[in-house]
Structure 1
Amino acid sequence: MPQLPPENVQDYPRPPALEPVAQRLRLILGGATVAETSRALRVLETHHAPTYYIPPEDVPATLIPARGSSFCEWKGVAAYLDVQAGGLTAPRAAWCYPAPTGAFRALAGYLAFYASAMDACFVGAEKVIPQPGDFYGGWVTANLQGRIKGTPGTEGW
């Protein structure tokens, strides 16, 4: 099975970059498929694990608007969603940018998911580890090198 090529998160750009994902992504909650796609996009930002965004038509799970929003200086205002699948509800487990700004307009309507809220998330055949901390939504894979933001003391980088 092919492995992901090595990438150093310290080499990712700032401002972040948006690129297509070559691998198939799969997310599971309660034994049910939350999403499965070969048409994802990912955001690469210095010291972050990649954040993966999935087209809404590849998400069979039920999504319910949740309270609150956040602001990204690059992408704009994010809306949050509860995710229901397999008889479970994961609160505020997904987010999207309904009207992203600038270079991130292609993300409009695409959905990102916190790996920590799912039973499992996969990039290709590899099960991901959630990015450290409870704010960032990156997915850590074995090919990533460098120091990944998210642990206490790294928020201000």
Structure 2
Amino acid sequence: MRHPSPHPPAAGQESVWDYPRPPRVETSDEVVEVWLGGERVASSSRTLRVLETSHPPTYYLPVEDVAEGALRPVAGATWCEFKGQAAYFDLVAGGLVASRAAWTYPNPSRGFAALVGHVAVMPGAVDRCTVAGELVVPQAGGFYGGWITSRVVGPFKGEPGTLGW
């Protein structure tokens, strides 16, 4: 399948087509917040961004920066060819439950040890997520957990017709 033509990034932007495969993990000091049921369930300036070709960044927050009681472990796992086996959580806050909206890699593959003790959140499953005060647009498709902000340009995997990228 033919890959799309990347959108040219403006000053201060990143193209997801310049991200590596396999993915890279990098630290970020941007303030990242997650809201559910009208409550802020997470806030951190000590996050990790996972950057992978054609995907908007996925932010991983330290578990200790998630509100107590907001993460409820659930059964089941998935496998990432790069990061290994993921374990899932329901997010619980404000009388709402966002089913399997968060995940972690308790024993990640080699090269991804930094993810231990961190949790990612599916932005489309919660009220809202922000990065440095900017509202995040969820990556399309409902499967990937990318966080789209004005900082990144695509096109992004997840839209209809992108399965083979």
Q: TM-score, normalised by structure 2?
A: 0.90
2:3 matched to which residue of 1? none
> Residue 116 of structure 1: SS of its match in structure 2?
helix
Q: Which of residues 112, 120, 133 in structure 2 aligns to 1:112?
A: 120
1:66 matched to which residue of 2? 74
Q: Which of residues 1, 4, 22 in structure 2 aligns to 1:15?
A: 22
Q: How does 1:97-136 map to 2 (within 5 A)?
A: 97-136=105-144
Give percent identity, aligned residues only: 53
Aligned partner of 1:88: which letter?
Answer: L
| CA distance, structure 1, for counterparts of residue 102 and residue 93 of structure 2 | 13
2:51 matched to which residue of 1? 44
- Superposition deviation, residue 56 in structure 1: 0.5
> Residue 153 of structure 1: SS of its match in structure 2?
coil
Show structure 2 runs of 5+ residues with no match. Answer: 1-10
Comparing 146-155 with 91-100, greater Cα deviation is found at: 146-155
Q: Which of residues 61, 85, 92 in structure 2 aligns to 1:84?
A: 92
| CA distance, structure 2, for counterparts of residue 76 and residue 101 of structure 1 | 5
Comparing 144-153 with 73-82, greater Cα deviation is found at: 144-153
- Superposition deviation, residue 143 in structure 1: 2.2
Q: TM-score, normalised by structure 1?
A: 0.94
Larger radius of gyration: 2
Runs of 4+ displaced beyond 4 Å = none
| CA distance, structure 2, for counterparts of residue 14 and residue 131 of structure 1 | 18
Aligned partner of 1:18: which letter?
Answer: V
Show structure 1 runs of 5+ residues with no match. Answer: none
Q: What root-mean-square deviation, in Å, do the aligned CA atoms of Structure 1 and Structure 2 show? A: 1.2
Number of positions where the alignment pairs a residue of Structure 1 with one of Structure 2: 154
Q: Which of residues 57, 69, 72 in structure 1 aligns to 2:64?
A: 57
